[in-house]
């Protein structure tokens, strides 16, 4: 992911890539040669030499690297999840506030053009159904499927429901790793909205579907293909409309980060990342409790 982030910022006319850091020297050199910047074997070599940093390392190191960057006076975009727990998240949020620096979290689906179009039409969602499936990839396997994949849809559900979480139930199973590889969760919000979410990293074909229902409309979104289908009733007649959206969510996220640094908040901030992480951790706890009872 670090390579993709670097390429998006390098493509901008208002950003200069100071360097890329990777523990694998050949990987850092290959990207640095392509982007025309320094190749670094240790992220600490860039501290204080740039205005901002993108932290795309294993989750267990998010806190360490993001903290060092913030302490060096840099704005930080950190991949999701924000940290391994809420204590580390709170520490980063407090440090960013103290140093008056931007702390943004990489919930890239918020910048999906199809989701953004859907969000503008949803005024009172009653039911949200999300399905996010993928084949197994080593990238992301340092955490369970909830923190790897489901956290995207937990974040989207919270953004759509616009209400506090009232109740959480979940189940899941280990398949290919020692942690949870497939899970389903039911989230009930204080305003009556309900979200059913499914995530799997042991599926054959990738799926990123989101369906949202409100009293006057049903919307089905294929977030991978950038397609929406609306259905609503008008004067007793069911009308259906299909729309397609093109866009680069990662580039849009980079734009939001730059705009926020310039003083116009446009991204998912630390508090938003903390909220998604807290809900993901609660779902994971419910799954593990169930596994302990039923094996």
- For the chain, the 3-state helix, strand and coil shares in percent, each to the nearest 5, are 40, 25, 30
- Compute the C-alpha angle 64/66/72, nearest 5°: 105
State how far the alpha carbon of 263 is from the alpha carbons of 82, 100, 256, in Å: 22, 11, 11
> What is the helix (H) or strand (E) element at residue 194, kind and residue range?
strand 194-200
At residue 140 the predicted structure's pLDDT band, cuts being 50, 70 and 90, is low
At residue 141 the predicted structure's pLDDT band, cuts being 50, 70 and 90, is low
> Which residue carries 């919930």 as its tokens?
107
pTM equals 0.93
pLDDT in tens, 38-50: 999 999 999 989 9
In the chain, what are the domain boundaries? 2-107, 109-247+267-294
Q: Can you give the pLDDT at residue 143?
A: 87
Segment 245-262 mean pLDDT: 96
At residue 234 the predicted structure's pLDDT band, cuts being 50, 70 and 90, is confident
Q: Can you give the pLDDT at residue 126?
A: 97
> Which residue carries 């990489």 as its tokens?
106
Segment 231-245 mean pLDDT: 91
Q: Is 138 a residue whose pLDDT tops 70?
A: no
Q: Is 109 a residue whose pLDDT tops 70?
A: yes
Residue 74, judged by CB atoms within 10 A of its CB (0-12, 13-18, 19+), counts as buried
Q: What is the DSSP string of 99-138?
A: HT--EEEE-GGGG-HHHHHHHHH-SS--EEEEEEE----S
CA quadruple 231, 115, 206, 291: dihedral sign: negative
Domain spanning 2-107: CATH 3.40.50.720: yes
What 3 state SS string does 153-170 have? HHHHHHHHHCCCEEEEEE
| C-beta of residue 92 within 8 angstroms of C-beta of residue 82 | yes
> Which residue carries 């799926």 as its tokens?
207
Beta-bridge mates of residue 221: 210, 228
109-247+267-294 and 2-107 share a CATH fold: no
At residue 133 the predicted structure's pLDDT band, cuts being 50, 70 and 90, is very high
Beta-bridge mates of residue 187: 168, 195
Name the superfamily (CATH) of residues 109-247+267-294: Dihydrodipicolinate Reductase; domain 2 (3.30.360.10)
| C-beta of residue 74 within 8 angstroms of C-beta of residue 53 | yes
């Amino acid at each position: 992911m670090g390579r993709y982030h670097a390429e998006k910022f390098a493509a901008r006319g208002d950003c200069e890539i100071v360097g890329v850091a990777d523990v694998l020297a050949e990987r850092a050199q290959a990207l640095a040669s392509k982007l025309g910047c320094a190749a670094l074997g240790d992220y600490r070599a860039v501290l204080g030499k740039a205005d901002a940093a993108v932290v795309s390392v294993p989750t267990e190191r998010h806190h360490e690297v993001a903290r060092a960057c913030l302490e060096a006076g840099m704005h930080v975009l950190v991949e999701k999840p924000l940290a391994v727990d809420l204590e580390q998240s709170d520490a980063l949020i407090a440090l960013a506030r103290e140093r008056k620096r931007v702390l943004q979290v990489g919930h890239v689906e918020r910048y999906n053009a199809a989701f953004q179009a859907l969000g503008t039409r949803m005024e009172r969602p009653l039911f949200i159904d999300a399905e996010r499936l993928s084949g197994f990839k080593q990238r992301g396997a340092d955490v369970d499927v909830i923190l790897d994949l489901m956290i995207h849809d937990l974040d989207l559900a919270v953004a759509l429901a616009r209400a506090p979480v009232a109740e959480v139930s979940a189940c899941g199973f280990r398949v290919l790793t020692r942690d949870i590889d497939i899970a389903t969760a039911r989230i009930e919000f204080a305003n009556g909205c309900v979200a059913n979410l499914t995530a799997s990293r042991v599926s054959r074909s990738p799926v990123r579907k989101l369906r949202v229902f409100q009293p006057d409309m049903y919307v089905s979104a294929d977030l991978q293909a950038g397609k929406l289908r609306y259905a609503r009733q008008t004067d007793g007649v069911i009308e259906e409309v299909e729309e397609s959206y093109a866009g680069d969510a990662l580039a849009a996220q980079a734009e939001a980060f730059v705009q926020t640094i310039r003083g116009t908040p446009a991204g998912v901030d630390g508090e938003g990342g903390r909220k998604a992480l807290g809900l993901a951790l609660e779902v994971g706890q419910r799954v593990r409790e169930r596994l302990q009872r039923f094996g």
